[in-house]
Chain A
Amino acid sequence: DGGITQSPKYLFRKEGQNVTLSCEQNLNHDAMYWYRQDPGQGLRLIYYSQIVNDFQKGDIAEGYSVSREKKESFPLTVTSAQKNPTAFYLCASSIDRLRTGELFFGEGSRLTVL
């Protein structure tokens, strides 16, 4: 079955540590996205990528980094510079950014900073 796989599902981190969240898709989608969701708030865009080896900052990119070396993979690193990293992180993909198709989401990664 095609879909998006995020790992780990739950992650605990000490302050000052970087952590990388994995996102893999086998939908052959060009566009991939990372969102952050906090309680009572809508999803906020961290980074997105339209094509391999290219990515753009979203609304809240500070303290995060990404790479897009393969079409299927779009990992997110939460760095120690991110001041409030505890959140629910969602990876999503769409067929491409020009055809306004819907977003498909992974199951999410819940990061807690201790």
Chain B
Amino acid sequence: RKEVEQDPGPFNVPEGATVAFNCTYSNSASQSFFWYRQDCRKEPKLLMSVYSSGNEDGRFTAQLNRASQYISLLIRDSKLSDSATYLCVVNTRNQFYFGTGTSLTVIP
């Protein structure tokens, strides 16, 4: 079983839509969780860390459910500039594990 699993998509949504991504992880000992954004042919960049209490940064909300071992990312009021691949990253015993990424295209 993979350490981190994501639905690869693609998700094609109209501007202004709300879209949610989920990611599951297999190891209950996982310690920290992140969402990264990766544009085509570029390096991943940290979008936000994910905390047990949930956290919000503008239009983006991340949540962690330790009991069910999944994390989520909600994007509200999608913009064209949100088009990218979103990577779920989990740190387990000081090793980073990556999902394959979820592709999002926001359509005018």
Asked whether B43 lies within 8 Å of A108 as measured between CB atoms, the reply is yes
Asked whether B43 lies within 8 Å of A100 as measured between CB atoms, the reply is no
Distance in angstroms between the alpha carbons of A28 and B94 in the assembled complex: 18
B4: contacting residue among A33, A42, A94, CB under 8 A? A42
Interface size on B, residues (CB 8 A): 22
Query: Is B91's beta carbon under 8 Å from chain A?
Result: yes
Query: Is A2's beta carbon under 8 Å from chain B?
Result: no
A90: contacting residue among B4, B43, B99, CB under 8 A? B43
Asked whether A42 lies within 8 Å of B43 as measured between CB atoms, the reply is no
Asked whether B42 lies within 8 Å of A108 as measured between CB atoms, the reply is yes
Query: Is A29's beta carbon under 8 Å from chain B?
Result: no
Asked whether A42 lies within 8 Å of B99 as measured between CB atoms, the reply is yes
Distance in angstroms between the alpha carbons of A83 and B94 in the assembled complex: 29
Binding site for A on B (CB under 8 A): 4, 8, 31-32, 34, 41-46, 49, 87, 89, 91, 94-96, 98-101
Asked whether B100 lies within 8 Å of A42 as measured between CB atoms, the reply is yes
Asked whether B94 lies within 8 Å of A105 as measured between CB atoms, the reply is no
Instruction: Please give, as numbers and ranges, the residues of chain A lying within 8 Å of B34 by CB-CB distance.
Output: 102-103
Asked whether B42 lies within 8 Å of A97 as measured between CB atoms, the reply is no
A98: contacting residue among B4, B94, B99, CB under 8 A? B94
